[in-house]
Structures are given as C-alpha cells and as structure tokens.
Amino acid sequence: MKTTKKEIIELQKDGWVLTDPSCNQMRKEIVKDNIYQFREDRLIDPISKTYEVYEDTLNYYDYDWWNLVDSCRPFGYTRKQVDKWITERKEIALMLECIFEQSI
C-alpha cells in the first residue's frame, strides 16, 4: 500500500525529509553525516498496482570510495564530483540515497 499524504506529514514531523514525491522516498538522519534511514513506496506488482514500503538504514562507513563512486555514476554524477564530496565529507545523504535507490 502506498504511503498516504497524512502519513508523510506525520513522518516529516518526526524528522523525515521527502526527497522524491513520485515514489514517496524519504530519508532521516540517524547519526550526523554518517547513518541515514531511507524509505520509499516500491511497486511490487504492476498488474495489481501493489506497493510495499521498502526501508533500509545505511552507514556511510560501510562503503569504500569505489562503492560510492559506482553508485552515484548512474545518476549522472562524475567520479570527480563524488571524489570531492568524499574528500570534503559533503553530500553524504545524497551518496547514500544513490545506493538506496539501487538496492533490491
């Protein structure tokens, strides 16, 4: 079942940030610049239009440089961009979101 607008508002009150309204994708920072929780409505069966909420918690330190770069490249980010983010410890939430979006 898809997340309702009312549920999204309640989640936002609890610190969740809506990052992609097309699939109700949201993230919540658990540990500053390190651990984030993600969730989104994923289509399970296109015929019956069945959705399930998929959630995962990702830790920045679980990924090496190559994991981060390879996960961001399909979204149009260059190796140079991602390398700068890693070096400057910026855009951590975005890098982890790229990993989340490609997870099963």
pTM for the whole structure: 0.91
Q: Which residues pair with 31 in a beta bridge?
A: 35
Instruction: Give the total number of structural domains in the chain.
Output: 1
Do strands 50-59 and 17-20 pair parallel, antiparallel, or not at all (unpaired)?
unpaired
Q: What is the pLDDT of residue 99?
A: 97
Q: Which residues of 54-90 are buried (b: 16+ CB within 10 A; e: fewer)?
A: beeebebeebeeeebbbbbeeeebeeeebeebbeeee
Q: What is the pLDDT of residue 1?
A: 85
Structural domain boundaries enclosing 19: 5-101
> In this model, does residue 92 exceed pLDDT 80?
yes
Q: What is the mean pLDDT of the chain?
A: 96
